[in-house]
């Protein structure tokens, strides 16, 4: 089956939906493909808030937000992008309110704001109330509100269509070719559909499922990032992966930083607020990479609870009223998933794999780029977690993922609406679906191979243990060898389900291939970066090295299968790199 739309959006989280809205408003023939239903997207799991310097509670300025973002990202942030982020955060949050988002309110009826990690007043003096929120379900309300607006504007959705390939015209995307659309697998009956398009936005989110303990949904398998990579687009800054400090022990479900924003403590086995040892000024509200490292240090020093691999998050002193009004969802998670009552008991937590700072390289217009000179890939765009623009640098600040997907989802939609006007619909060859059809059939038809689950859990173990909060050459080399071995095992997997109707067995096998691509480049980029910066913490190279590594990594796969790493300079406009202390 072959169809066409002037613009296509892959993924229906916040970035994809806002882009769709812009295209609908501009009257462009656009459609959104999602392997879920739109309201299932993981934007809906975001909890604590979305930062914008509204100044509703106290003095605030977008320049302060810009600075915090750059410092939080350990100066790997592109500063022109951080400026766009901080400025446009304000208008996008106001626009969300106009769309109906039910923010909590101040006594005078304005959008309420609270503190969040790494967000400060006057360039680092102390915490500032910048995070706009709807209880602790801000992401849920953003996703619902944007979907409601898409319903209002009659946006065309392909629900439960799993995108399995990108189509190209005039060569591969890494060699000057143009993106010509996507091949999608209709989950309900297994039919492959080629959809031609002048502009394709990858808004497919992250790839946290490569780790054992993660806050990420099962769906977060790096699909868009991997598909672009397979067609020659680099993966940028893959070594920077964020571990959120407060995940539920063992299963990784997120307990929002909003808890600490509202005043929760982190305690060691002696009941001591151990952040005093690491960030005396910001304490529990230091950036996530620092807090996660602090927790691991405490555990290594034997100060985990009863000597085990977790510490406590304590909300008891906040009182029931504040807990119920400001943190109802996460305290519900604690009751359901840990069987603990947070009114009366401290909550066992440990770091959980949370967010990819890296992804598909883009410029400020959300257009994908393919080299250190930022050469644009015609017809391809990326936004949200799948993209690396880079506003997060080496470590993302809390709430800035939502700010990113709003600001750059909106920019992507507007840019696509402009770009599609001047170009014709691509021509595609008749056999364009054959390569991916063959790949899928090879898995489906293989009579007896290895179960994919063993490969997935081995991947998750090695990435967690050797490419996690702390890294060193030995562990990374082990990870590299393991991922390589998993890749050869992957070539021999089979599935039980040979059918065409709703075959999730087959699609999960496909997703595992994407995760292996992302893991392979992550490990390669980690090995090459012999410094510590933000979330990339090398025990064998503990210092930041601005002379050699104030640069973004770009990983591409050569024809021989080897990964090539290139570097491009960081854009610095207002703030020269300084030591990062809080």
Alpha-carbon distances, residue 308 vs 127, 303, 350, 462 (angstroms): 31, 8, 10, 21
d(C-alpha 522, C-alpha 237), whole Å: 8
Separation of alpha carbons 544 and 184, rounded Å: 43
Nearest 10 degrees: CA dihedral of 364, 370, 376, 377? -120
Write out the binding residues for another protein, residues 433-452 only, by CB under 8 A: 451
Please tell me the distance from the alpha carbon of residue 163 to that of residue 227, in angstroms, as a whole number: 9
Of the candidates 122, 188, 375, 474, which one interacts with another protein according to CB under 8 A?
A: 188
Residue 496: CB minimum distance to another protein, A: 3
Is 288 noted as a catalytic residue in this protein? yes
Q: How many CB atoms lie within 10 A of CB 341?
A: 12
Please tell me whether residue 393 binds another protein under the rule CB under 8 A. Answer: no
Looking at 265-273, 337-345, 383-391, 460-468, which segment touches another protein (CB under 8 A)? 337-345
* Catalytic entry in 137, 209, 212, 288: 288
Compute the least distance from the CB of residue 10 to another protein, in Å: 16
Query: Is residue 29 involved in binding another protein (CB under 8 A)?
Result: no
Of 109-117, 257-265, 268-276, 471-479: span binding another protein (CB under 8 A): 109-117
DSSP character at residue 216: S
Q: Which position among 501, 547, 559, 562 is part of the footprint of another protein (CB under 8 A)?
A: 501
308 binds another protein (CB under 8 A): no
Token pair of 356 as six digits: 């990819």
Do the bridges between strand 2-10 and strand 192-202 make them parallel or antiparallel, or are there none, so unpaired?
parallel
Of 277, 206, 291, 200, the closest CA to residue 243 belongs to 291
- Rounded-to-integer distance, Cα 217 and Cα 355, Å: 11
The answer to whether 502 contacts another protein (rule: CB under 8 A) is yes
Q: Verify binding: residue 126, another protein, rule CB under 8 A.
A: no
Please tell me the distance from the alpha carbon of residue 553 to that of residue 458, in angstroms, as a whole number: 26
Using the rule CB under 8 A, is 568 a contact of another protein? no
499 touching another protein, by CB under 8 A? yes
Based on the shown chain and the rule CB under 8 A, indicate whether residue 111 belongs to the binding site for another protein. Answer: yes
Nearer to another protein, 188 or 548 (CB): 188
Told to check if 343 binds another protein by CB under 8 A, we report no
52, 80 in Cβ contact below 8 A?
no
Cβ closest to another protein, residue 374 vs residue 504: 504
Q: Considering only residues 500, 530, 548, 573, which one is a binding residue for another protein as defined by CB under 8 A?
A: 500
Q: Virtual CA dihedral for 64, 73, 315, 109, nearest 10 degrees?
A: 30
| Shortest CB 86 distance to another protein, Å | 18
The residue (of 106 and 573) whose beta carbon lies closer to another protein is: 106
Q: Decide: is 141 part of the binding site for another protein (CB under 8 A).
A: yes
Site string for another protein, 241-280 (x = CB under 8 A): ------------x---------------------------
User: Which region among 132-140, 295-303, 403-411, 565-573 touches another protein (by CB under 8 A)?
Assistant: 132-140
Which residue number, 503 or 556, has a Cβ lying nearer to another protein? 503
**Residue 137 makes contact with another protein by CB under 8 A:** yes
Does the bond joining 390 to the residue before it have cis omega, within 30 degrees of 0?
yes
What strands, in cross-sheet order, belong to the sheet with 50-51? 50-51, 126-132, 113-121
Tell me how far, at minimum, the Cβ of 454 lies from another protein, in Å: 9
DSSP state of 489: H
Binder among 297, 374, 504, 528 for another protein (CB under 8 A): 504
H or E segment to which residue 193 belongs: strand 192-202
**362 to each of 95, 199, 236, how far by Cα in Å?**
24, 14, 9
**Is-contact 534 289, C-beta < 8 A?**
yes
For strands 551-557 and 241-248, give the pairing. unpaired
Which C-beta is closer to another protein: that of 104 or that of 528? Answer: 104
Does 560 participate in binding another protein (rule CB under 8 A)? no
- Report helix, strand and coil shares of the chain as percent, to nearest 5: 40, 25, 40
Q: Cβ distance 149 to 166 under 8 Å?
A: no
Comparing CB distances to another protein, the nearer of 21 and 554 is 21
Of residues 216 through 245, those in contact with another protein by CB under 8 A are: 217-219
Site size with another protein, rule: CB under 8 A: 56
* 77 neighbors 247 (Cβ within 8 angstroms): no
Q: Does 360 bind another protein (CB under 8 A)?
A: no
Of 194, 114, 270, residue with least CA distance to 427: 194
H-helix segments, 434-503: 434-445, 452-466, 473-490
Asked if residues 464 and 213 have their Cβ atoms less than 8 Å apart, the reply is yes
288 burial class (0-12, 13-18, 19+ CB within 10 angstroms)? buried
Among 89, 285, 495, 527, binds another protein (CB under 8 A): 495
Cα distance between residue 196 and residue 240, in whole Å: 34
Query: Residues 6-35, buried b or exposed e (16+ Cβ, 10 A)?
Result: bbbbbbbbbbbbbbbbbbbebebebbbbbb
Task: Give the span between the Cα atoms of 463 and 478, in whole angstroms.
Answer: 10
Only segment of 113-121, 149-157, 236-244, 356-364 that touches another protein (CB under 8 A): 149-157
110 near another protein, judged by CB under 8 A: yes
* Cα(374)–Cα(362) distance, integer angstroms: 8
Cα angle for residues 141, 145, 147 (degrees, 5° grid): 120
Which residue in 115, 119, 140, 414 binds another protein (CB under 8 A)?
A: 140
Q: Confirm or reject binding of residue 329 to another protein (CB under 8 A).
A: yes
185 binds another protein (CB under 8 A): no
Between 102 and 170, whose beta carbon lies closer to another protein?
102
Instruction: Give yes or no for residue 40 binding another protein (CB under 8 A).
Output: yes
Per-residue string for binding with another protein, 64-103, x by CB under 8 A? ------------------------------x--xxxx-xx
Applying CB under 8 A, which part among 32-40, 194-202, 422-430, 465-473 lies near another protein? 32-40
- Which is closer to another protein, CB of 94 or CB of 365? 94
Counting contacts by CB under 8 A, is residue 162 touching another protein?
no
Residues designated catalytic: 288
Note the residues at the interface with another protein (CB under 8 A). 36-37, 39-42, 44-45, 94, 97-100, 102-105, 107-111, 134-135, 137, 140-141, 144, 148-149, 151-152, 188, 217-219, 253, 329, 332-333, 336-339, 451, 453, 495-497, 499-505
């Amino acid at each position: 089956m072959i169809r066409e739309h002037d613009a296509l959006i892959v993924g229906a989280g916040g970035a994809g939906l806002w882009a769709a809205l812009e295209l609908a408003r501009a009257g462009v023939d656009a459609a959104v493909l999602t392997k879920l239903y739109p309201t299932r997207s993981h934007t809906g799991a975001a909890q604590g808030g979305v930062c914008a310097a509204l100044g509703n509670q106290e003095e605030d300025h977008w320049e302060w937000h810009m600075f915090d973002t750059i410092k939080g990202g350990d100066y790997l942030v592109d500063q022109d992008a951080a400026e766009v982020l901080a400025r446009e955060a304000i208008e996008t949050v106001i626009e969300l309110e106009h769309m109906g988002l039910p923010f909590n309110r101040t006594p005078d009826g304005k959008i309420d704001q609270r503190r969040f990690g790494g967000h400060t007043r006057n360039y680092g003096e102390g915490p500032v109330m910048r995070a706009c929120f709807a209880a602790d379900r801000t992401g849920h309300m953003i996703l619902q509100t944007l979907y409601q607006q898409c319903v209002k504007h009659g946006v065309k959705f392909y629900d439960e269509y799993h995108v399995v390939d990108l189509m190209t015209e005039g060569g591969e995307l890494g060699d000057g070719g143009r993106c010509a659309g996507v091949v999608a697998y209709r989950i309900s009956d297994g039919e492959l559909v080629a959809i031609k398009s002048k502009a394709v936005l990858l808004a497919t989110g992250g790839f946290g499922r490569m780790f054992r303990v993660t806050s990420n949904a099962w769906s977060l398998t790096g699909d868009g990032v991997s598909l672009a990579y397979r067609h020659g687009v680099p993966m940028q800054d893959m070594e920077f992966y964020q571990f959120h400090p407060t995940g539920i022990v063992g299963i990784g479900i997120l307990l929002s930083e909003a808890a600490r924003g509202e005043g929760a403590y982190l305690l060691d086995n002696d009941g001591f607020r151990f952040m005093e040892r690491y960030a005396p000024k910001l304490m529990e509200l230091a950036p996530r990479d620092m807090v996660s490292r602090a927790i691991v240090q405490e555990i290594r020093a034997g100060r985990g609870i009863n000597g085990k691999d977790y510490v406590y998050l304590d909300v008891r002193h906040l009182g029931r009223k504040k807990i119920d009004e400001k943190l109802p969802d996460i305290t519900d998670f604690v009751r359901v998933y840990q069987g603990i009552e947070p009114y009366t008991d401290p909550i066992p937590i440990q770091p959980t794999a949370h967010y990819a700072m890296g992804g598909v390289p883009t410029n400020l217009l959300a257009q994908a780029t393919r080299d250190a000179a930022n050469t644009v890939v015609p017809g391809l765009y990326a936004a949200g977690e799948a993209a690396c623009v880079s506003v997060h640098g080496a470590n993302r600040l809390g709430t800035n993922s939502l700010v990113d997907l709003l600001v750059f989802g909106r920019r992507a939609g507007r840019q696509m609406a402009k770009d599609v006007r001047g170009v014709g619909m691509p021509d595609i060859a008749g056999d364009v679906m054959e390569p991916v059809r063959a790949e899928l059939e090879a898995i489906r038809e293989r009579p007896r191979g290895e179960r994919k689950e063993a490969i997935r859990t081995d991947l998750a173990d090695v990435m967690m243990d050797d490419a996690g909060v702390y890294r060193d050459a030995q562990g990374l080399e082990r990870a590299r060898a393991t991922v390589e071995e998993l890749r050869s095992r992957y070539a021999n997997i089979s599935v039980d389900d040979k059918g065409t109707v709703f075959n999730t067995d087959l699609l999960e096998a496909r997703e595992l291939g994407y995760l292996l691509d992302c893991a392979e480049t992550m490990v390669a980029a980690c090995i090459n970066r012999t410094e510590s910066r933000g979330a990339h913490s090398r025990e064998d190279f503990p210092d930041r090295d601005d002379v050699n590594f104030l640069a973004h990594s770009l990983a591409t796969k050569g024809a021989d299968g080897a990964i090539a790493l290139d570097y491009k300079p960081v854009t610095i406009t207002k703030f020269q790199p300084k030591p990062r202390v809080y």
